Amino acid sequence: MGQIPRNFRAIGLTEHGPENMATLRSFAINCLRAAGHHNIAAGLREMSYEPFTRPLTLLGPR
């Protein structure tokens, strides 16, 4: 196996890291779609306005 850049190791982009990040990204997109957001970029922007409360509200019980 070739050399892995040092900064990749520092942020966990070795082994299963990329697959795990892709899974989390898909989960976030599916949560936004389930909440009725048709435009994913706009939904992410809306969630970023209150980063400590809105995502929890999105994931919370309905």
Per-residue confidence (pLDDT) for residue 21, from 0 to 100: 86
The per-residue pLDDT string of the chain (62 residues; one tens digit each, 9 = 90 and over) reads: 566 666 666 665 557 778 888 998 999 999 999 989 999 999 989 888 888 888 888 887 65
In whole angstroms, give the CA distance from residue 32 to residue 42.
Answer: 10
In whole angstroms, give the CA distance from residue 44 to residue 40.
Answer: 6
> What's the longest Cα–Cα distance across the chain?
48
Per-residue confidence (pLDDT) for residue 33, from 0 to 100: 93
- Token readout for 13 is 């982009």
* 32 burial via Cβ count (<10 Å: 0-12, 13-18, 19+): buried
